[in-house]
Chain A
């Protein structure tokens, strides 16, 4: 019994790490194509070995720790940013029960956790600590400012994120991810009746992940590199990884809540197909994140905070009321 979740955890960990590597590849190629250029295509066929080349380079880089940096927090910060991203993948359902060489195996680590959404919300809040520690422990004014800005941004948009989790829960009458997907399989995928909530959720996810147009904290033109200025080599790789794995796992959560998760044609007959459908939806969400990054300029910091508190938060509250109306109207 214990081996089952250990093996699944190891598999999910490797899915996240490989997903991170190939998300960077996908981003560089897609971003390049939007900008009418090609992107890396020399390392291996179509540049597919580029992430490996980057990883090898980062491993060989010299690790510099600033002289008066607070070492313990300096080394802990990347881990605190990275770990919550992978932990979130623990509740994403990849399918129902499937047959694996005679044993019935549940596709996903804990599909039926009855407080799954609360779990996701609490775990993403821990990631904020990583950033504020990184900024503060670097002993660098600009890193500190970047860290503070990022922290303020993340906690502001977390409120909107939390409120946007409510409509799918109201539709499914349960906080368990498995139940949310089951409800979408019976009726219609959530992004159709809950269209405005999906948009608000997506915007809040972009702000949580510190991704353009909300990437002021790591804006190269503004604050050198913001909170990760003083990091080099493997620790920088961990921050980078944290951002992309967060993108990946929040895309998985978005797909599960609004795009029907592992649901798709023929999933009931062949449960393993659920893996494929969820992966395609994650790639679709990542594509939209990259598309938004390529198009929009950065928010100025005061506008970013105003947008989060004055526009998105009330809109998220209104969405909850609208959802109640939609549920009554269409007897969901």
Chain B
């Protein structure tokens, strides 16, 4: 078969013409149509809350210790019954994650004893000012669930007496 045989060229050109006329494009028009991520996708962090509105984070800083990139900074403060943020003895009054250092590995999620810090599906993290690369507690906290008020809450004394809240087995 000579290399100057035109027949394979014609067959190839028919294939490309077919795909031009009959195939639907695979392009997603980005800002309007977005691709969904897999369930375990490791995107931006969220600080979760319980159903009664209190934050899960007790300020133990195990996530900061576990972080291989040293991206998390935690400072804890005492809860009082007049101003209660979490069901334990302490809460994270300063909680900052440096998105430029974070490698999105999920070790903080694994280390957290109360399942407070979790990596969600948000990947649109661009910023124009370098100072916006550090997200604080307010930016990371979830919104309170339906029907519950946010923190700080005023609670009755004597309800939350454990320093570490009751743990539930992971389901």
* A contact residues vs B (CB 8 Å cutoff): 30, 32-38, 41, 291-292, 294-296, 303, 307, 311
Contacts and interface: CB of A to CB of B under 8 A. Distances in A.
A298 to B, nearest CB: 14
A311 B5 CA distance: 12
B77 to A, nearest CB: 49
B9 A37 contact: no
Classify chain B's interface size. Answer: 10 to 19
B161 interface: no
Given A36-B23, A37-B27, 4 more contacts: A36-B26, A38-B25, A294-B16, A311-B4
Contacts of B29: 38, 41
Contact of B13 (A41, A292, A311): A292
Nearest to B18: A34
Nearest to A31: B20
Interface string B19-46: 1100111110100000000000000000
Contacts of B25: 32-33, 36-38
Nearest to B28: A38
B17 interface: yes
B157 interface: no
Contact of A296 (B12, B19, B23): B12
Contacts of A36: 19, 23-26
24 contacts: A33-B20, A33-B25, A34-B16, A34-B17, A34-B19, A34-B20, A35-B19, A36-B19, A36-B23, A37-B25, A37-B26, A38-B25, A41-B29, A291-B13, A291-B16, A291-B17, A295-B9, A295-B12, A295-B15, A295-B16, A296-B9, A296-B12, A307-B4, A311-B4
A303 B23 CA distance: 34
Nearest to A315: B4
- CB-CB nearest 8 A-B residue pairs: A34-B20, A38-B27, A295-B16, A33-B20, A37-B27, A34-B16, A295-B13, A38-B25
B121 to A, nearest CB: 25
A211 to B, nearest CB: 15
A197 B161 CA distance: 95
Contacts of A295: 9, 12-13, 15-16
A222 B20 CA distance: 28
Contacts of A33: 20, 25
A246 to B, nearest CB: 23
Contacts of A32: 25
A291 B3 CA distance: 21
Contacts of A303: 3
A34 B4 CA distance: 25
Contacts of A292: 13
A38 B23 CA distance: 11
A292 to B, nearest CB: 7
Given A36-B25, A38-B25, A38-B27, A30 B20 contact: yes
Nearest to B6: A199
Nearest to A36: B23
A37 B19 CA distance: 10
Point out which of A30, A34, A35, A311 has the most chain B C-beta atoms below 10 A from its C-beta: A34
Contacts of B4: 307, 311
A32 B9 CA distance: 20
A305 to B, nearest CB: 14
Contacts of B26: 36-37
Contacts of B17: 34, 291
A165 to B, nearest CB: 23
Nearest to A199: B6
A182 B46 CA distance: 76
A292 B17 CA distance: 10
Contacts of A35: 19
Contacts of B16: 34, 291, 294-295
Nearest to B31: A42
A176 B48 CA distance: 82
A308 to B, nearest CB: 12
Nearest to A310: B4
B34 to A, nearest CB: 16
Contacts of A38: 25, 27, 29
Nearest to B17: A291
A41 B27 CA distance: 11
A126 B20 CA distance: 37
Contacts of B9: 295-296
Contacts of B15: 295
